[in-house]
Structure 1
């Protein structure tokens, strides 16, 4: 695939490119009427399209063909994380985890969290950019930030893990994870989960796991967990 990909989430009901994508297409790449471009709706499909109206504010296209792109992995991966004080680190994680392949991101507010809110719109733009850069047609879901106690009581049909640094018996992620299973992994804040949070998670079906011998930053642990699940599914 050698074409620039344009994100058009409503292409099936609206044949006009979003303004930001239209400006990039017409003003930056200098595409003109009659040129073919590649679109994605972020829902698992690519679309070959022809430009009908080359206007940087109102770029109209005609869809020529629809191409379904398999997700590329046969499991669902959800990462729940406590956003760091330095938001750049979490944005970096979100970008890289999207490139590797993640289905859902769930920000959680923990007892030791230093950041109480995030700018979802900014992270969503990063997810879109990473999706296009890695030539994927599936945009990960980004949840609203909720409390840890509320999050761990939600239903999840798959394996549930909590990665923490307390000295207690834990299996490695390699030992605990069953290939092909859907999986949800909890990653704590810079001060780790509280002991009460770990206990609550375990009571709600989360299995404590280790990500290795080193103490990792939040974003490093989250990305390591994401990559490990993909490696274990090869």
Structure 2
């Protein structure tokens, strides 16, 4: 398995970011003329030769550019989830969903939410490590936290499947039974105390289909990962 380095502006400036350069040169002991594998977070792998082994300005000669076919999924998954009070669990969710395959994540503040702030820079670093681990080249989009109502005010018409997973004992479909392959999905996951009845009603008015993830009561981050897994498995089967 190749060691990957992340350089979002590689084609523009032909440089490794300083933190990546330090890891490459000082930790892994790469030297001038070594060939390394680099990702840009936009879906491309690069083979690059180190021209200058200076951690503050590590210049790269691009030898080859390859589109990441594993990142070119036949579906698009946007997970909108209420972040947990414990930020470690949010980071774990993001790491695992990135490894499995997710395109976009939004954080929503609900009536029963316990967290009102997130640090996108920190979460992006988690995602970068996760795409390296899973040998992907496409970095998920992370959106700032917004209120539940503001999220639903967005133009979501492009999504072929809009789903809200909740615990209210009413007419809900099993997620597996309604998922269609090769779709554009937007899935809502609530906080530890679940969405309240008003939030569920508003989502239904916005054409979100109520679904259940099974009989077990799941933690928020577990529910998000389970939804991500179900979508991935559905599209593997297709």
Q: CA deviation at 1:175?
A: 1.4
SS at match of 2:64: strand
1:190 maps to: 192
| Structure 1 residue 12: Cα displacement | 1.1
CA distance in 2, matches of 1:176, 1:34: 53
* 1:219 counterpart residue number: 221
* Cross-structure match for 1:84: 84
Deviation at 1:72, TM superposition (A): 4.7
Q: 1:174, 1:28 → 2: CA distance? A: 45
Between the aligned partners of 2:15 and 2:6, the Cα distance in structure 1 is: 11
CA offset at residue 73 of structure 1? 2.2
The aligned length equals 233
- 2:154 corresponding residue in structure 1: 154
Unaligned runs of 5+ in 1: none
Residue in 2 aligned with 1:210? 212
Aligned to 1:5: 4
1:93 aligned residue: 93
Which secondary structure state, in structure 2, belongs to the residue aligned with residue 32 of structure 1? coil
Following superposition, the deviation at residue 153 of structure 1 comes to 2.2
1:105-127 CA-to-partner distances (Å, cap 9, x unmatched) read 10011110010011111110000
CA distance in 1, matches of 2:72, 2:45: 14
Matched, 1:115 2:115: yes
**Given the alignment, which residue of 164, 167, 174 partners 2:166?**
164
Q: TM-score, normalised by structure 2?
A: 0.96
In the other structure, the counterpart of 1:138 is 138
**SS at the partner of 1:139?**
coil
Superposition map of 1:30-109 within 5 A = 30-70=29-69, 71-109=71-109
| Runs of 4+ displaced beyond 6 Å | none
| Structure 1 residue 3 displacement after superposition | 2.1
Q: Distance in 2 between matches of 1:32 and 1:48?
A: 15
SS of residue in 1 equivalent to 2:187: strand
RMSD: 0.8
Separation in structure 2 between the aligned mates of residue 153 and residue 172 of structure 1, nearest angstrom: 26
CA–CA separation in structure 1 for the residues paired with 2:222 and 2:111: 20
Q: Distance in 1 between matches of 2:30 and 2:135?
A: 20
